[in-house]
Amino acid sequence: MKLVTPEEMREIDRKAIEEFQIPSLQLMENAGRQIAEAAREMLRFPLGKRVAIFAGRGNNGGDGFVAARYLVEEEAEIDIYLLGKKEDVKGDAQTNLQRLTQPVMEIKEEKDLDKLKDSLSQADLIIDALLGTGARGKVQGILKATIELLNESGKPIISVDIPSGLSGEKGEPLDICVKAARTVTMGLPKQGLISYPGAEYVGELKVADIGIPPEVLNDHCLKVNLLEEKDISSLFPYRRRETHKGNYGHILVLAGSTGFTGAAALAGLGALRSGGGLITLGVARSLNPVLEAKLTEVMTKPLPETGEGSLSLEAEGDILELVQRMDALAVGPGLSIHPETQELVKRLITKINKPMVIDADGLNGLAGDISLLTKSPASIIITPHPGEMGRLLGMTVAEVQSDRIGVARQAALQMGIVIVLKGARTVISDPEGNVYVNPTGNPGMASGGMGDILTGMIASFIGQGLTELEAAKAGVYIHGLAGDIAAGTQGEIGLIATDLLDKLPLAIKQLQQKR
């Protein structure tokens, strides 16, 4: 499903109205009907229930007026409050205001809000139709006071298209924002509804079909997408009966250093649990006994090391020889920031011509020198968290987080590689400017080792025959899904990386069953 900016949605509306000759009044009618349906679901039995509708003077308010008409037909008790004067309502919204048979109370001054507190206490549901996606600047004055009143009411709120006061593009509150229980957005989800912190205000998100033609909604010029189950399930057919381990890839994982054997183990097991046929873990020689004892199914390859127990430059020849037999390579988890190890990584990037997933310490040495990524003969995926992304690009974490989609997209275009920007709503971007936002995962996954597993998973999927972009999308989606399954059985608090590992096969099975 496409994700759009407010500007892109306005262009979609324009095409529907001008090129497909769908009356704008009909689109508003359809939107209002969908809002009423959402209210009906929340109320269960609308008869006699009281609904307070707060409307602005624009099309968002018009949607609220339409919803009021439909709820009256359900014999709900409707109170309508207009923020402003009736004569200031224009266009289709004015048409639907005139169609109302219920009285509309104008809220012109903050003191008018004092009269509403008692009536709001009697409401079963509030519909927020104050502001749409075109809102700009800081919310203040009577509008701010109204939003505060709604949030303090303790009543469930349905927001029309977007919670009032939320940026539709960046997902940032414009100082204050309605806290909705459900948001019914029209046509396509807006990026600000999916991105954090905006997603915290949205509640349950429902995407409403208001009659816009599919060819408009799926325009190839729309580059940002929300990953869906169907996008991933098609990548995992059931395996043929006549098969062997060689059919599912041989993955080399270069990871670990003294004190970080866990990262190496998790990356190797992540690759194995994701279906990789053979996994070889290349580690510093002194760590090999530990990892041989820890890992039964993952093979290990002891390699030359520095005095601090990390891979040394002397390992280069062995790695270049070893990688010839491999289908994909994962580099970085727990590898250390030892200067010699970092130099080794740089040399490997310039010489290896196999698909490569680079994470963690594999990225740290590239800060300020990302040209190596553009010059590499390999197809590369990098999987930075916001801090690593900031170091690579010379940005602060706050700058990265304020525009995750834009930063990831621009970086992928600049470097010519696939980028996985980790975090809540992980963002995947490719060199063609396409972006994919992942909806799976939960706060319980904010613990050590989760990213190491993801690195191994993506490399494993490449080894099994997926393209780099497919592997990144599948890895991120399944990683989050496994975390959700684990949290569903034991809760989020105390969730650890090995809990997620155990759920990877189940997550893949669940997707296969949805094909």
Per-residue pLDDT of the chain (515 residues; tens, 9 = 90+): 999 999 999 999 999 999 999 999 999 999 999 999 999 999 998 888 999 999 999 999 999 999 999 999 999 999 999 999 999 999 999 999 999 999 999 999 888 898 888 889 999 999 999 999 988 889 999 999 999 999 999 999 999 999 999 999 989 999 999 999 999 999 999 999 999 999 999 999 999 999 999 999 999 999 999 999 999 999 988 888 989 998 899 999 999 999 999 999 999 999 999 999 999 999 999 999 999 999 999 999 999 999 999 999 999 999 999 999 999 999 999 999 999 999 999 999 999 999 999 999 999 889 878 889 988 999 999 999 999 999 999 999 999 999 999 999 999 999 999 999 999 999 999 999 999 999 999 999 999 999 999 999 999 999 999 999 999 999 999 999 999 999 999 999 999 999 999 999 999 999 999 87
Angle at the Cα of 123 (from 121 to 126), degrees rounded to 5? 115
> How many Å apart are CA 205 and CA 159, to the nearest integer?
10
Rounded to two decimals, what is the model's pTM?
0.94
Q: What are phi and psi of 161, to 5 degrees?
A: 75, -45
What residues are paired with 53 via a beta bridge?
80, 127
> At which residue do the structure tokens 């059985």 appear?
489
In the chain, how long is the greatest CA-to-CA distance?
83
Q: How far is CA 348 from CA 332, 378, 380, 394, in A?
A: 12, 10, 12, 23
Sort residue 332 into left (φ over 0), alpha (ψ -120 to 50) or beta: left
Closest CA to 438 of 416, 465, 457: 457
Q: Which option is the CATH number for 6-222: 1.10.10.60, 3.40.50.10260, 3.40.309.10, 3.40.50.720?
A: 3.40.50.10260
Domain with CATH 3.40.1190.20 in the chain: 229-512
Alpha carbon distance 389, 403 (integer Å): 12
Which residues make Cβ contacts (< 8 Å) with residue 484, sequence separation at least 6? 440, 441, 442
CA–CA separation, 462 and 252 (whole Å): 12
Structure tokens belonging to residue 306? 């520095």
DSSP secondary structure, 83-139, as one string: ES-GGG--HHHHHHHHT--S-EEEE-SHHHHTTHHHHHHT-SEEEEES--TT--S--
- Second CATH level (architecture) for the domain 229-512: 3-Layer(aba) Sandwich (3.40)
User: Which amino acid type is present at position 409?
Assistant: R
